[in-house]
Structure 1
Amino acid sequence: MSAKPIEQSVAPSAATQASQTRIVVAAVFGNLLEFFDFTVYSFFALTIAKLFFPAHDPVVSTLLALSAFAIGFVARPVGGFVLGHYADKHGRRAALTLTIFLMAVGSAMIGLAPGYATIGLAAPAWIVFARLLQGFAQGGEFGAATATLLETGSARGRGFRASWQLASQGAAALLGSGMATLLNYQLTSTQLLDWGWRVPFLAGVLIMPVGVYLRRHIVEEPPAAARTKAAGVEPALVRKWFLTVFAIMGMTVATYVLMYYIPTYSIQYLKLPAKLSMLVSIGAACVSLVLCPVWGALSDKLQRRKPLTLIGRVALIALLYPAFWLMNHFPTLPVVFGLIVLLMIFYTMGSAPAYALMPENFPKHVRAGYLASAYAVAVSVFGGTSQLVVAWLIKATGNTMAPAWYMIGCVIVSLIAVSMLEETGGRELA
């Protein structure tokens, strides 16, 4: 991939500054809504376990519910390959509009699903199918949305714009955890079990009209322009694809453990009240939403992505074990909240600049497809299964430090992979 300094080549923008802003807002807001629909399930995993996966052992019931969460990731690689290629061939807007429609349908299915007591084994099957549909949609969302953010506007602001992909995931987690906290405080346990848990999923159906309206503002060059470039699979791109899979691996595991599994962990093993445990996820999500754009902008200023990415990941590796040790020995809300916030500071440092680094390693005519498929494979194999894996490890070993050890191993692999990617900060890309 050829690259040259930004100072020597600044590509003209076809869109005005105002239209560029609308495009970025459309991509970010649509991505936020889709991630909310896909991940809000984890905040109600214990409730869904009771209604759709009943078992004599509540831990087994939770494992079954988390398995359904993980199943949603099985379809992600298929969605990544199919919808990522669709985005490169037919344009970013067409793909983003399709993904948001499919996600809304999956969310409606979960929100309207009859429970096990009503339709028996068909109930968990219903949930599994809805999660597969959501996973297919989410697989294509990441590549198209990230490519849109990267390619819209000045080359000097790529890191800042791409970081909003991760920041919007933080906003989705904040929205989901905030809604879960509100429902836990306002409803009785019976009301929450009867109908309250359905509210976030049915509210998520609103993403379809809102998202489609916003994404009408996305204007891009005709897809045919990209197809004039040479086709074919290049060995260098395949190597970068594998590196991207492993670069994402550690951070997606950290995402789903630190932001989504931590309420369940806090309730079951730290014995925090359910109403308080959700506050930990809110803190983690706030850090992601606020700091991701800061680290992205700093990588633009430094004109380098890798230093921040590597420092953040090394610091995360060093802090994970002591943080979980302290949480287990001092299981109070201030301690757990403060430690998760600390971990998230370095998680965002190690992740946000990488959201520009990874797509910048691919040329435009294949960027969405390669990125979407790499992300989908990494999240499906490692991120989507992380809650299930750490829950199983705790049950199998009796060691509540298992989440820390699992994350440390995954982030070390991720650190090695990202160090092998080409530095792209401060360069004009193909």
Structure 2
Amino acid sequence: MNATTDASRTVDATRTTSRGAIAAAVIGNWLEFFDFTVYGFFAVIIGKLFFPSADPTTSLLLSVATFAAGFITRPLGSVMLGVYADRKGRKAALNLTIMLMAASTGAIAIAPTYAQIGVAAPLLIVLARLVQGFSQGGEFGAATSTLLEQGGGTRRGFRASWQLATQGGAALMGSGIAAALSAALPKESLESWGWRIPFLIGVLIAPVGIYLRRRLADDPASTHSHAIERGVLHELFTAHLRPLVLITLTVMGGTVSTYILTFYMPTYAIHTLGLPMSLSMLVGVASGFVMLITCPLFGMLSDRIGSRKRPILFGRGVLVLLLFPAFMLINRFPQLPVIMSATALMLLFYSMGSASEFALMCESFPRRVRATGISIAYALSVCVFGGTAQLVATWLIKLTGSKLAPAGYVAACVVVSLIAVSMLKETADKPID
């Protein structure tokens, strides 16, 4: 009886640790993607207030370029904060990244405009975006490693899948709040102070994240001794270069799909299909909802069947087959129900093909270089392919004259990622460290 009771207590403690790790790890990721969506939605207003120009297009381009600046510092953050997480521990890195995120998001929320302080205003916005990108570069590795390592050796796919589910939740909330503010406030109020509300909400969530992360279990000191004795980067690039390259290519297919199907589709609906902005934002809401709900389910599926690779290969394989018919249907019937349904279907298989990706990434590296390895792979893919996805899609439409060009670009990237996944080793059946 005592043995049974002790076993039950151990299971309960493991589940409690798992829930706490999930909440603490993903909250910073939620904050970053929440800011991503609201910044993109209010890019026109931010352009007017911080990058004034006689040409409205110039103001918008400067605002969008500032948004893109956040991608530039991601690789730097992935190296510096990833090494910090592998040397000093996940908890220390997570606390540092969320404080950097809170400070930079708060700076945007309260930043004086160009009319108030002149050229210092756009410089402040640019600096805030650079810090956000630096922070997110290290946030991913530390948070995803924590999801995998805390909570026991089972259900690793389920825990890691919350990294992607949180991105969907942030997109859902960001799009929803932005659409609600646009509908509820007069244009003058929205441009005067309303646009700051989402950024302030992001700041308010930061103390909760700091509290949760400080309650995480400390990393055992022994797990970092090898990393200190031998350079993390040296070991990563000499002993683990092959999985690093393959994981980078695997992430490429997922990040291009995310940025096109989730974040570019509202823009595509406005500029290519001619839908009004108020309706097009509902496409982003639907996309975020699908990811939030389905990713944990597909993460559980990878645990149940004992494979990370099979859901990825099947989900992304079906996505490739769906892309052209879905985009043809959207262009043939450019109506909101059709666009939302087609996008949701594509994202359903995208979620299947990406939910277990994060567990596969972590399990492909030993703990002593894990946070650095997945941080670099993710940051490089997002910086090179994710940050340019919308630009490339728009350029391809102009170059080819075909509204199906984005589907071709996504399909090509997903095929490359499928080849990379097929070359990786299966990791679901291997003990973690």
Equivalent AA in structure 2 for residue 109 of structure 1: A
Equivalent AA in structure 2 for residue 318 of structure 1: L
Which residue in the other structure is 1:49 paired with?
A: 47
The alpha carbon displacement at 1:415 in A equals 1.5
2:420 to 370, 394, 417: 417
Bigger mean CA deviation after superposition, 36-45 or 290-299: 36-45
Question: In 2 relative to 1, CA 334–55 (structure 1 residues): closer, same or farther, beyond 3 Å?
Answer: farther
Which residue in the other structure is 2:4 paired with?
A: none
Could you tell me whether the CA contact under 8 Å between 2:290 and 2:347 is conserved in 1? Answer: yes
Equivalent AA in structure 2 for residue 216 of structure 1: R
More helix by share: 2
Equivalent AA in structure 2 for residue 409 of structure 1: A
* Structure with bigger RCO (C-alpha 8 Å, 6+ apart): 1
The alpha carbon displacement at 1:346 in A equals 0.8
Distance 1:152 1:125 in 2: 40
Once the two structures are superposed, the pairs formed by residues 173-188 of structure 1 within 5 Å of their partners are: 173-188=171-186
1:338 to 337, 341, 348: 341
1:99 equivalenced with 2:97 (yes/no) = yes
Which residue in the other structure is 2:3 paired with?
A: none
Distance 2:27 2:297 in 1: 18
The C-alpha deviation readout for 1:163-192, integer Å capped at 9, x for no partner, is 011111111111111111111221122322
1:218 equivalenced with 2:216 (yes/no) = yes
Which residue in the other structure is 2:24 paired with?
A: 26
Sequence identity (%) = 54
Could you tell me whether the CA contact under 8 Å between 2:88 and 2:224 is conserved in 1? Answer: no
Bigger mean CA deviation after superposition, 372-381 or 187-196: 187-196
The alpha carbon displacement at 1:250 in A equals 1.6
Question: In 2 relative to 1, CA 285–140 (structure 1 residues): closer, same or farther, beyond 3 Å?
Answer: same
Q: Which runs of 5+ in 2 are unaligned?
A: 1-9
Could you tell me whether the CA contact under 8 Å between 1:93 and 1:218 is conserved in 2? Answer: yes
Which residue in the other structure is 1:159 paired with?
A: 157
Which residue in the other structure is 1:6 paired with?
A: none
1:323 to 308, 323, 326: 326
The C-alpha deviation readout for 1:355-374, integer Å capped at 9, x for no partner, is 11111000011111111111
Once the two structures are superposed, the pairs formed by residues 132-211 of structure 1 within 5 Å of their partners are: 132-211=130-209
Which residue in the other structure is 1:391 paired with?
A: 394
Which residue in the other structure is 1:266 paired with?
A: 269
Question: What is the count of residue pairs matched by the alignment?
Answer: 419
The alpha carbon displacement at 1:57 in A equals 6.3
The C-alpha deviation readout for 1:79-124, integer Å capped at 9, x for no partner, is 1111111111111111111111111111122222334455555443
Distance 1:338 1:386 in 2: 22
The C-alpha deviation readout for 1:311-340, integer Å capped at 9, x for no partner, is 111111222222222222221110111111
Bigger mean CA deviation after superposition, 53-62 or 154-163: 53-62
1:307 to 307, 310, 332: 310
Bigger mean CA deviation after superposition, 226-235 or 271-280: 226-235
Question: In 2 relative to 1, CA 414–124 (structure 1 residues): closer, same or farther, beyond 3 Å?
Answer: farther
Once the two structures are superposed, the pairs formed by residues 269-284 of structure 1 within 5 Å of their partners are: 269-284=272-287
The alpha carbon displacement at 1:290 in A equals 0.6
Secondary structure of the structure 2 residue equivalent to 1:331: coil
Which residue in the other structure is 1:8 paired with?
A: none
The C-alpha deviation readout for 1:190-229, integer Å capped at 9, x for no partner, is 3222221111112211133111111112103323433236
Bigger mean CA deviation after superposition, 41-50 or 57-66: 57-66
Which residue in the other structure is 2:243 paired with?
A: 240
Which residue in the other structure is 1:227 paired with?
A: 225
Question: In 2 relative to 1, CA 22–91 (structure 1 residues): closer, same or farther, beyond 3 Å?
Answer: same
Secondary structure of the structure 2 residue equivalent to 1:156: coil
Could you tell me whether the CA contact under 8 Å between 1:283 and 1:341 is conserved in 2? Answer: yes
Distance 1:284 1:174 in 2: 7
The alpha carbon displacement at 1:59 in A equals 5.5
Bigger mean CA deviation after superposition, 162-171 or 196-205: 196-205
Secondary structure of the structure 1 residue equivalent to 2:155: helix
Which residue in the other structure is 2:35 paired with?
A: 37
Question: In 2 relative to 1, CA 112–403 (structure 1 residues): closer, same or farther, beyond 3 Å?
Answer: farther
Distance 2:117 2:393 in 1: 31
2:63 to 62, 65, 86: 65
The alpha carbon displacement at 1:30 in A equals 3.5
Bigger mean CA deviation after superposition, 33-42 or 150-159: 33-42
Once the two structures are superposed, the pairs formed by residues 372-411 of structure 1 within 5 Å of their partners are: 372-411=375-414
Distance 1:226 1:390 in 2: 43
Could you tell me whether the CA contact under 8 Å between 2:314 and 2:353 is conserved in 1? Answer: yes
The alpha carbon displacement at 1:151 in A equals 0.8
Equivalent AA in structure 1 for residue 165 of structure 2: A
1:353 to 353, 356, 359: 356
CA RMSD of aligned residues (A): 2.3
Bigger mean CA deviation after superposition, 36-45 or 284-293: 36-45
Which residue in the other structure is 1:257 paired with?
A: 260
Distance 2:111 2:397 in 1: 30
Q: Which runs of 5+ in 1 are unaligned?
A: 1-11
Question: In 2 relative to 1, CA 325–56 (structure 1 residues): closer, same or farther, beyond 3 Å?
Answer: farther
The alpha carbon displacement at 1:310 in A equals 0.8
Could you tell me whether the CA contact under 8 Å between 1:42 and 1:261 is conserved in 2? Answer: no
